[in-house]
């Protein structure tokens, strides 16, 4: 299918009053900007403002160590700048050899930890400016890249990773990769700048004008980030409704029929801006497998053409849909596609949780889902998880898949090799099935926040484990230790840990203080609602102690904590159900 190039008459396309980022893109020569010069400048650990925006399209963010900010300021030193790189790895898949390379990069250039993100990607933190190119080249040696890891483009495509959970898992999984490839920017800037490809020659030889070079995106790319996720019911472990496009695999008699298409999800909001809000994607129809690439591309290009480029707080696709209306959107999509989506099929989700432990697939291979606390892989005195994963990778007995709950799936293990894997894990303190953990810990997500995220207002990843340790005796007291209560924490309202989908969501307001949200469901189909504002740890513990007591004494059969919060009118159910 040939897609329409950006039409300058359409309102969203860059116009007077556009944001700085739009202007940076416009003047960047397809994402090149002055990155080469910035990275060669020996006088500072930072890069120019325009380049800090452009480098995102190459998968990296400039950050500084927030723990050191004040001290360095007092000493009149520039902030301790470093870079975070986020890889593009649809469905979170890596071979054992690639995992070894990732381990090596983190030790050689990063802060010796490996971060598994809430979108099934690996992040390296703490890479100094002068090592960024070497890190990218090392990734490339293992056939890995970070193109479109961030930036105003389609991001890492998520997909339910565990082949034992559905007969069509691998077929669906392949679509995550196909969609990711299909929607990749085509600028060669990444290859030229980081991999020294062509050194710029040849680029000018591209014929046919600017959009030949970037046929899907044009030179202004999208107004904002764009996300696609796929889930296979009944498992919603990729939180499909939080995506700009959510694809729900429809399976009959173990055969993939196609996908229900949901549009307009997104979780970010800004305190004090009432016009920003989280929104769950709305199911608009069904497409066959061979239509899904075009559907994703055309939906994305409607956002390219109509998305808000004047205010980045309002530029996500969810606002475009709400501004123009769902009916308008469906009509526009039909016109662009040249066919109408079918009627959405029935799809029932039961959980967003990862299924820990060993599972066997239809081909007799085993898959082991392991808990990683908030996705941070490192060695601690009690748990040498980083070494364990490296040793397992060195055996070459399995591949690796990351989950959207920030966990790890070791996959494709032969029956005879299970015991070898278990032995390595046990030697390094890792339990295989996560049963030693409370249900709440197994179901927790925290975003990075301190010390690298510039937007964090409170701790998240570094604090939630401690908070859960303090909650565990309370859960025990109420007989709730095993109950899978979904708790999520983010250091700000951007929603990176999807806290607004949790049964208990904690969103940072300032250091040590959080807003508490209640009423999310277990299956990822309901946003939660603000319950208490700006509370500290003592208040969180006391409130939850009382609520757990009431929950246990009044709950109905199989009633989840989130459903209880709504039934007992602690919070109103959100309107935004799918
Ligand atoms: Fe996120 C920005 C980390 C998933 C919504 N996110 C950031 C930045 C890059 C901060 C920044 O802009 O400088 C954070 C870097 C922290 C660091 O030091 O690593 C950051 N986001 C993360 C990760 C690593 C959280 C984690 O602990 O796992 C996740 C990386 C995913 C990936 O591999 O691509 C991550 N971010 C999410 C999600 C969840 C999801 O997509 O499933 C969301 C909510 C869904 C959504 O997009 O609406 C999310 N991140 C945001 C936003 C709010 C966007 C908005 O619509 O307003 C920002 C801020 C922004 O874009 O301006 C943001
Ligand atoms: Fe940073 Fe906020 Fe995202 Fe947490 S939710 S990683 S604090 S932007």
pLDDT given at position 295: 98
pLDDT given at position 296: 98
Q: What six digits make up the tokens of 224?
A: 């904002």
Contact 500, 530 (CB under 8 A): no
Contact 490, 460 (CB under 8 A): yes
Assess whether the C-beta atom of 270 lies below 6 angstroms from ligand 2: no
Q: Whose CA is nearest to atom 48 of ligand 1?
A: 266
Judged on CB neighbours under 10 Å (0-12, 13-18, 19+), 483 is middle
Peptide bond into 442 cis (omega under 30): no
Neighbouring residues of 180: CB distance < 8 A, sequence distance ≥ 6: 88, 90, 154, 156, 157
Q: Whose CA is nearest to atom 15 of ligand 1?
A: 453
Tell me which of 115, 448, 457, 515 to substitute to probe ligand 2's pocket, judged by most ligand atoms within 8 Å of the beta carbon. 448
Q: Is 318 a catalytic residue?
A: no
Judged on CB neighbours under 10 Å (0-12, 13-18, 19+), 189 is buried
Which residues of the chain, if any, have pLDDT below 50?
201-206, 577-578
Q: How many A from CA of 359 to the centre of ligand 1?
A: 31
Q: For residue 61, list its beta bridge partners.
A: 84
Index of the ligand 2 atom closest to the CA of residue 495 = 5
Q: Is 159 a catalytic residue?
A: no
Q: Is 296 a catalytic residue?
A: no
Q: How many A from CA of 94 to the centre of ligand 1?
A: 22
Instruction: Give the Cα-Cα-Cα angle 29, 31, 37 (nearest 5 degrees).
Output: 85
pLDDT given at position 578: 43
Contact 376, 383 (CB under 8 A): no
Q: Mind listing the domains of the chain with CATH numbers?
A: 20-337 (3.30.413.10), 357-427 (3.90.480.10), 439-567 (3.30.413.10)
Indicate which ligand has the atom closest to the C-alpha of 451: 1
Assess whether the C-beta atom of 453 lies below 6 angstroms from ligand 2: yes
Instruction: Give alpha helix (H) positions in 27-128.
Output: 35-40, 49-57, 69-74, 96-108
Q: Is 225 a catalytic residue?
A: yes
Q: How far apart are CA 173 and CA 163, in angstroms?
A: 9
pLDDT given at position 9: 59
- From the candidates 150, 159, 398, 492, which is the catalytic residue? 492
Q: Is 150 a catalytic residue?
A: no
Task: Give φ, ψ of 211 to 5 degrees.
Answer: -80, -10
Task: Give φ, ψ of 279 to 5 degrees.
Answer: -145, 140
Contact 268, 317 (CB under 8 A): no
Q: Classify each residue of 214-230 as buried b or exposed e, where b means 16 or more C-beta atoms within 10 Å of its C-beta.
A: bbbbbbbbbbbbbbbbb
């Amino acid at each position: 299918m040939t897609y329409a190039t950006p039409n300058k008459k359409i309102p969203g396309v860059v116009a007077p009053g556009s944001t700085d980022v739009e202007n940076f893109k416009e003047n960047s020569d397809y994402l090149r900007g002055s990155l080469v010069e910035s990275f060669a400048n020996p006088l500072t650990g930072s890069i120019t403002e325009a380049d800090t925006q452009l480098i995102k399209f190459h998968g990296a963010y400039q950050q500084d160590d927030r723990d050191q900010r004040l001290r360095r300021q007092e000493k009149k030193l520039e902030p301790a700048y470093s870079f975070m790189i986020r890889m593009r790895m649809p469905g979170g898949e890596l071979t054992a050899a690639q995992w070894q390379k990732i381990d090596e990069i983190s030790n050689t250039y990063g802060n010796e930890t490996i971060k598994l993100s809430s979108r099934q990607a690996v992040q390296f933190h703490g890479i100094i400016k002068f090592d960024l190119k070497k890190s990218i080249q090392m990734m490339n040696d293992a056939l890995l890249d970070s193109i479109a890891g961030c930036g105003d483009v389609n991001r890492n495509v998520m997909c339910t990773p565990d082949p034992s959970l559905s007969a069509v898992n691998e077929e669906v999984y392949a679509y995550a990769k196909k969609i990711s490839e299909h929607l990749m920017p085509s600028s060669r800037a990444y290859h030229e700048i980081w991999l020294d490809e062509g050194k710029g020659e040849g680029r000018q030889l591209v014929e046919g004008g600017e959009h030949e070079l970037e046929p899907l995106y044009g030179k202004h790319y999208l107004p904002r980030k764009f996300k696609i996720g796929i889930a296979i019911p009944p498992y919603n472990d990729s939180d499909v409704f939080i995506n700009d496009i959510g694809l729900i695999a429809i399976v009959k008699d173990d055969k993939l029929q196609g996908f229900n298409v949901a549009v307009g999800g997104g979780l970010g909001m800004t305190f004090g801006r009432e016009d920003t809000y989280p929104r769950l994607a709305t199911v608009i129809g069904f497409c066959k497998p061979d239509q899904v690439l075009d559907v994703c591309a055309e939906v994305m290009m409607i956002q390219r053409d109509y998305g808000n480029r004047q205010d980045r707080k309002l530029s996500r696709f969810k606002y475009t849909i709400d501004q123009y209306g769902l009916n308008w959107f469906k009509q526009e999509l039909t016109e662009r596609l040249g066919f109408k989506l079918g009627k959405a099929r029935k799809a029932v989700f039961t959980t967003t949780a990862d299924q820990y432990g060993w599972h066997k697939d239809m081909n007799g291979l085993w898959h082991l889902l392991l808990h990683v606390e908030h996705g941070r892989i490192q060695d601690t005195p009690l748990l040498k998880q980083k070494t364990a994963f490296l040793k397992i990778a060195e055996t070459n007995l399995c591949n690796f898949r990351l989950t959207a709950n920030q966990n790890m799936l070791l996959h494709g293990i032969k029956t005879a090799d299970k015991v070898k894997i278990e032995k390595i894990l046990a030697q390094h303190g890792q339990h295989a099935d996560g049963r030693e953990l409370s249900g709440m810990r197994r179901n927790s997500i925290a975003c990075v926040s301190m010390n690298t995220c510039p937007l964090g207002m409170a701790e998240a990843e570094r604090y939630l484990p401690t908070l859960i340790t303090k909650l565990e005796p309370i859960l025990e007291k109420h007989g709730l230790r095993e109950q899978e209560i979904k708790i999520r924490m983010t250091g700000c309202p951007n929603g990176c840990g999807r806290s607004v989908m949790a049964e208990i969501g904690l969103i940072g307001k300032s250091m040590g203080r959080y807003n508490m949200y209640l009423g999310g469901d277990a299956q990822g189909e309901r946003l939660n609602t603000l319950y208490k504002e700006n509370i500290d740890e003592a208040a969180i513990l006391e409130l939850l102690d009382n609520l757990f007591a009431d929950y246990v004494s009044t709950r109905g059969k199989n009633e989840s904590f989130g459903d209880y919060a709504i039934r007992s009118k602690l919070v109103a159910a959100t309107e935004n159900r799918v």
